[in-house]
Structure 1
């Protein structure tokens, strides 16, 4: 009987040790995977730069890889962001307004109306990571200005020109806010990587992961007010 008890006890202890070892191994593997993901994110994020240049238009394309695998791809010129790979409505409207500016705001009513669908959809198609309170306010301002423009059907040529200038100014405000949002987004990601590296070099893997995740939470706070 005592032998059976000893065997059962030994078996229980052995089982516990095996489970403990398995849990430790599992946690270690999970930590390794998380560390690998963060390191990959750091390496890919640091590859941000000019991928291609359109010399005639002086437009640069930049790609920035985030932790969740999201690739932020956007186009820049000397005035700021002119387009996003995943926000074609913004890209098209920006291009149309740029062309209208070249003609000193002299254009046809039809060309103005052709932007209707794109401008109306700006708030519906904007990528989630850009939906800060400030950006959405600027989107609403652009839409409001555009509605006032097309509703004034009896406007003279000079009045239409003035209204187009005001629409262009509102769009410039939106572009400026987008520039700031993208800059803040990438800064937070870079800061998270720096915090991670600082702890990781000390051999504090858990602390490194914790520091990284705390910094990354700031990205969610950028858009949580709007949601």
Structure 2
């Protein structure tokens, strides 16, 4: 009996490594479910409790998705500022941040230099971020930018006001992205908790089933096409 139970645990550990949405760590070797849960909680606490101390410092978070691909994103005290696999968003965010610091006093040439990045936002967004809400905010940003560059006769003050409106739309997008990333983390944590509840009762098959059911929520987040 002990041999059968140990083989079941080892089999689950292998399946979990392949199919789950896990935190990437520099530690080598397999981690048990308790360690993974602890890391997830520590990451969430670090993102929340230390936000006030981050100032302009950029921190990087890395996660591994259930299909094995990695999510790497950067954040500051205000939220997400860039993604390794979404360069268009990262560049636009950086440009708007610089314009914000100069109180939106900039040139038409600099505004138009974002044209390609803006136009490509919806095409280059990673699949895991394509929720309905995020895509709506992307469309709003693109619409606001198009109106900005089409108004070629705008005065400096009008251009400044239009840039402020664009910046506000982009902040809405950033906020939605923050919520999406947080939801992914939450789903992963809840999946681990559901697994632990059944596993402590000795119900290994039930623990695996509960875990997989929770992880399915990740797919439901994505925009239906």
Which category of TM-score, normalised to the shorter sequence, fits these structures? 0.7 to 0.9
Alpha carbons of structure 1 residues 66 and 147: separation in structure 2 relative to 1, 3 Å = same
* Equivalent-residue separation in structure 1 for 2:72 and 2:83 (angstroms): 6
Q: Name the structure 2 match of 1:164.
A: 163
TM-superposed CA distance for 1:71, in Å, is 2.3
CA contact (8 A) 2:191 2:214 kept: yes
Q: Could you say which residue in structure 2 is the equivalent of 1:85?
A: 84
Between the aligned partners of 2:63 and 2:122, the Cα distance in structure 1 is: 23
1:11 match: none
* Root mean square deviation of aligned Cα: 2.8
Maintained 8 Å contact 1:41/1:65: no
1:109 paired to 2:108: yes
- Which structure would you say has the larger Rg? 1
Shift of 1:57: 3.2
1:33 partnered with 2:33: no
Greater RCO (CA < 8 Å, at least 6 residues apart): 2
Matching residue of 1:5: none
Task: Give every structure 1 segment of 4 or more consecutive aligned residues whose post-TM-superposition deviation is greater than 6 Å.
Answer: none
Q: Distance in 2 between matches of 1:146 and 1:82?
A: 19
Q: Which runs of 5+ in 2 are unaligned?
A: 21-29, 47-53
Q: CA deviation at 1:62?
A: 1.5
Equivalent position of 1:193 in the other structure? 192
Kindly provide the CA deviation profile for residues 32-73 of structure 1, in whole angstroms up to 9, marking residues without a partner as x.
5324555759545754547xxxx8831111122333323221
Structure 1 stretches lacking a partner, 5+ long = 1-23
Q: Which position in structure 2 is the counterpart of 1:208?
A: 207
Give distance in 1, aligned partners of 2:223 and 2:55.
40
CA contact (8 A) 2:37 2:192 kept: no
